[in-house]
Structure 1
Amino acid sequence: MIDTCSDAPFAFGDLQGCHAPFQRLLATLTLTPDTPLWFAGDLINRGPDSLATLREVAGFGERAHCVLGNHDLHLLAVAAGIRKMKDSDTIADILAAPDAQALLDWLRHRPFAHFEHGMLMVHAGLLPQWDVSLTLELADELQRALRAPGWKETLRDLYGNEPRRWSPDLKRKERMRVAFNALTRIRFCTPDGAMEFAANGGPKAAPPGHLPWFDAPERRSADVTIVFGHWAALGLMLRGNLVALDSGCVWGNRLSAVRLAANPNERTVVQVDCGECEGQAAGE
């Protein structure tokens, strides 16, 4: 067993329904009942056991801090009749479960961003013009709308690629869509923050004129540690102010967890192999 007992949070990369590797990873850690568990989104979909994964994370209660990822939102959209299920989806077991409504309600009440201990967790990334305060303001607007009675209409309006740039003058619907796409979908953007959604390879696959969102010059969130997932082709990446957690478990690679010590030199990385959990199709 790996002793990681500490008040420092332990953050997990995208689980995507890979329940067995997640259980193996948990079994390697000595966690107290008070150890905070952070999940960078995409708890479900593409892996073989989305239902068990969602139930387990929800069962951690208040010690689990989970932000919404694009696959989590896709489940909500399918359940709401907004989007159709894809051949590669593995969410039918959730929708057919006797506790489906309770699980969907739990997921719908997760935030889009979590800030604590000087660290900001989102699923995908931030635009260069956003500092922590603005990010949390935009995330709060999204999560309040998704928790409201008219959440289905809100979610329907959030899908779409335009506008691709942030502006403080955007109208509410456009502002929310930009925030939705940045927090749950972004990988590459131009230096001034125009998002690109087609490329999903590693950093060297950046389209002309684009770069990874975290390398944008004068990024206003550079003064805090950003914890994120979403980008399997990037893999596990630790910098002083960046913790990228998605190491491609659903593609048969590895599932990663990082103990988020305040001192970057004291961070602990734990990984398990995911050979039995290879995803069924490419895409976001």
Structure 2
Amino acid sequence: MTQPTNRRTMSVARTDSIFVDTPAGTLERALSEKPDLELIHIPSHYLLPPTHPSPFEGTLEASLDALLDFGRAHPNSISIMNVLRQSVTTTTNWRDLLVPILELEEKTAMGNGRLLLEELLFLATRTLLPEQIAQNRACMHRMYAAKRTTSTRMILRYDMLREWAKRANNHFIVVESHPPLGNLEASVAAAEEEDKVHPGRRPALPNIWATLIAAPVQGYHVYKVGQAMKHHVTGLDKWLMFEDEEVAGWNTDTLVQLVMQALLQWQWLRDNTERMESMEVKGWGDLEGRADECEWVRDDKRAKA
């Protein structure tokens, strides 16, 4: 599965190529099945108090360290960890790397190959993707502060990996980015307890999206920047909310597909963020000119930013 090269249509191509319906149903389907009156409201987990300070550093180094630690804890995953730690490539055959794990005859540290794949999924959805989303949003903040006329359809944004979800009235579902309020110490998450059943697995964070999209404590000094930093709900949002019991109930083929695509999405997000940081070094010159003429802006005149 290769990464699309047409930049202005990249978001659409990626959505079509990586879409897999989860057993619990996609966020888009869940939203479409709700009554219109319910769609007026934003899902409650976006409105939870954010964890402050965030448990995510928002750096590539944090993800690379997590990959190194995972490989040490699970020797059977080292070949996969090595690929992920390298520069992003579009030629990796993830199925060829993942399927042999299921054929392991010896018990792994986590019990068996199936459980190791579950651990890989949670590594991607609870650590790797959140770290690069945090990194991408930090880069977005600097970009919009420097280039305030840049479109929210800039294709290297983390929320442009997938199609923006819509309400029944065809409006996009957008979540405001607000700074933590009240007693900041009270919003700090309690120390994570060790999971004795799955040692080393990062616990689910119910307020993960509220934490990732929170504004700086001092807020945004420019109104237009705050508007550009709003979070657009996509099919990716559901992935960061996967629960242990939900994943354990999937059939093995579904699990392999979801692990493969979670790793792909992380690679694409990593590559996008590195491209943004490269633009920053050059003073954001690639974003000069009209939005409808910029190759880094999604070409979709029907979209409502």
Identify, as 1 or 2, the structure richer in strand: 1
Identify, as 1 or 2, the structure richer in helix: 2
Q: Which has the bigger relative contact order, CA under 8 A and spacing at least 6? A: 2
Q: Same fold (TM over 0.5)?
A: no
Q: TM-score range by the shorter chain?
A: under 0.3
TM-score normalised by L of structure 2: 0.24
